[in-house]
């Protein structure tokens, strides 16, 4: 998979890709992530990427031309499956969306800033608009990092144990059940006895019940969706 991220603040985005699982995935050649600074695609001396709104109103709007130049340069090199715009008015990121995107070969992610981008960018270049939640960030970069993390960990080979992504919360529409490790008892706090018996069907059944109970208690909306 190849991800091209268009941003005015590449430095804000880079560190998540220089550590942990994302770095390992990149080093192993399972994913390529490229950053493109929008200012490199400007045509004036001031490297302007934004201007005031037509019709008046507070806040600057990102101009169509630098974005067109950047996206067109990328598209001249290869085909893209999606051109994603990170924006608070996009569809809310869910596990299912991360699953879908993890199957793509090449994607572009455009990070918005200020008031957002000229509507013509959205009309003519963007194939999907994603929000990471109902709050406004100062730019799309942190959202893009969240999206990339959620997607990249699903690429086969990225997680050490292939099954571990399948047992994540949300993968089966439920939250994950409680988990325990050594010691069996700490300060009198015990691990449920049944986890020691080696009765795998019984353990599996217990986990399913716990996942259901936890979901019912914390996120009943997830049960309504199924």
Confirm if 164 and 153 have CB atoms less than 8 A apart.
Answer: no
Q: Strands 60-62, 82-92: parallel, antiparallel or unpaired by DSSP?
A: unpaired
Q: For residue 151, give the 3-state DSSP assignment.
A: helix
Q: How far is the CB of 157 from ligand ADE (least distance, A)?
A: 28
Q: How far is the CB of 170 from ligand ADE (least distance, A)?
A: 18
Strands (DSSP E) contained in 66-168 are 82-92, 106-111, 128-131
Residue 216: its H or E element: helix 200-218
Q: How far is the CB of 176 from ligand ADE (least distance, A)?
A: 24
Comparing CA positions, the residue from 28, 66, 26, 40 lying closest to residue 148 is 26
Q: How far is the CB of 33 from ligand ADE (least distance, A)?
A: 18
Q: For residue 121, give the 3-state DSSP assignment.
A: helix
Confirm if 86 and 145 have CB atoms less than 8 A apart.
Answer: no
Which of residues 118 and 211 has its CB atom nearest to ligand ADE in the complex? Answer: 118
Which of residues 46 and 135 has its CB atom nearest to ligand ADE in the complex? Answer: 135
Q: Which residue is nearest to ligand ADE (CB)?
A: 143
Q: How far is the CB of 43 from ligand ADE (least distance, A)?
A: 26
Q: Is 136 a known ligand-binding residue?
A: yes
Residues of this chain that interact with ligand ADE (CB under 6 A) are 86-88, 112, 131-133, 135-137, 140, 143
Which of residues 33 and 130 has its CB atom nearest to ligand ADE in the complex? Answer: 130
Which of residues 38 and 174 has its CB atom nearest to ligand ADE in the complex? Answer: 38
Confirm if 105 and 2 have CB atoms less than 8 A apart.
Answer: yes
Q: Is 55 a known ligand-binding residue?
A: no
Q: Is 137 a known ligand-binding residue?
A: yes
CB atoms within 10 A of CB 189: 9
Which of residues 133 and 157 has its CB atom nearest to ligand ADE in the complex? Answer: 133
Binding-site annotation: residue ranges for S-adenosyl-L-methionine: 112, 132-137
């Amino acid at each position: 998979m190849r991800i091209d991220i268009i941003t005015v603040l590449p430095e804000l985005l880079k560190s998540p890709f220089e550590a942990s699982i994302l770095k390992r995935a990149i080093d192993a050649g399972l994913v390529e992530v490229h950053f493109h600074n929008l200012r490199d695609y400007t045509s004036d001396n001031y490297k302007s990427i934004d201007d005031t709104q037509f019709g008046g109103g507070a806040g600057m709007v990102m101009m169509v031309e630098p974005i067109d130049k950047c996206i067109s340069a990328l598209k001249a090199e290869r085909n893209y499956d999606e051109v994603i715009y990170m924006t608070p008015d996009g569809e809310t990121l869910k596990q299912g969306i991360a699953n879908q995107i993890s199957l793509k070969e090449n994607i572009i992610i455009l990070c918005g800033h200020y008031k957002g981008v000229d509507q013509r960018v959205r009309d003519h270049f963007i194939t999907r608009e994603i929000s990471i939640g109902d709050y406004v960030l100062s730019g799309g970069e942190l959202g893009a990092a969240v999206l990339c993390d959620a997607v990249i960990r699903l690429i086969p080979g990225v997680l050490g144990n292939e099954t571990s992504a399948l047992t994540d919360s949300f993968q089966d529409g439920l939250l994950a059940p409680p988990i325990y490790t050594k010691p069996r008892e700490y300060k009198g706090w015990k691990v449920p006895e049944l986890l020691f018996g080696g009765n795998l069907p019984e353990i599996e059944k217990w986990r399913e019940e716990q996942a259901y109970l936890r979901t019912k208690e914390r996120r009943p909306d997830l049960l309504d969706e199924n």
